[in-house]
Amino acid sequence: MTDDFRDDVAAAAETELDRLGSSKRLVALTDATLDDETVLRAAAASEAAAADVFAEWAADATGSAAETFAAFAERERDHYERVAAELGDDVAAESGDVHDYLCDLDDTVERAGGVVGRGLVAERTLAQFVSYFVNSADEARADLFRELRADTDADTETAISLLADAAADESDVERARTAAIEVVNVAYEEYVEALESMGVNAKSVC
């Protein structure tokens, strides 16, 4: 039931994901302040928020779901610490609309779908962090974000495996798919809002 789950979600949200993968993504995340400190702070704040969400899920789940969500939380906490170490400073979590939406998901099926949606968004966002540091000739930090992207991709696949175990039937898979697509939509709406507030056209891909 879940073999093509990731591809199905990506196809359903293709336009939104393409735009979220544009170079304007960092403009939206940093309020157009594209310097190393601001870029790193944006990344760290998001990783911290994700760790908090997954820790909350782990606390109220049971069995393999609790173990999986705890592992996600640990991974995101590690990501936060690695990015914060580049700053030499602690950064407060900033949940944003995506993490707020994830917080409201309350069963394993929808949560697994939500992780897949978040992973598809994060894959494109982290690629823009990589590009930023490549363009800054900072290969060490570019490599850091490549590693974070690979970790996030692995966790997306783990979420699909969790969904395969948790879904009783196709209606469960459809609920997960709806949650995944909604995560992308929420991320896209937040992205558009941020750019339009700066007078930037969000609907072109560059």
For the chain, domain boundaries: 5-197
State the residue for tokens 């000739």.
137
Domain 5-197: CATH architecture, name and number where available = Up-down Bundle (1.20)
State the average pLDDT for the chain: 96
DSSP calls for 23-74: THHHHHHHTT--SHHHHHHHHHHHHHHHHHHHHHHHHH--HHHHHHHHHHHH
pLDDT for res 206: 56
What distance in Å separates the CA atoms of residue 112 and residue 121, rounded to the nearest whole number?
Answer: 15
DSSP 204: S
pLDDT at 53 exceeding the cut of 70: yes
What distance in Å separates the CA atoms of residue 160 and residue 40, rounded to the nearest whole number?
Answer: 29
What distance in Å separates the CA atoms of residue 196 and residue 186, rounded to the nearest whole number?
Answer: 15
Whole-prediction pTM value?
0.95
> How far are the Cα atoms of 13, 43, 153, 187, 201 from residue 164, in angstroms, in the given order?
21, 30, 17, 25, 39
Residue 93's identity, in one-letter code, is A
- Place 3 in a pLDDT band, splitting at 50, 70 and 90: confident
What pLDDT, in 10s, does the model give residues 86-136? 999 999 998 899 999 999 999 999 999 999 999 999 999 999 999 999 999
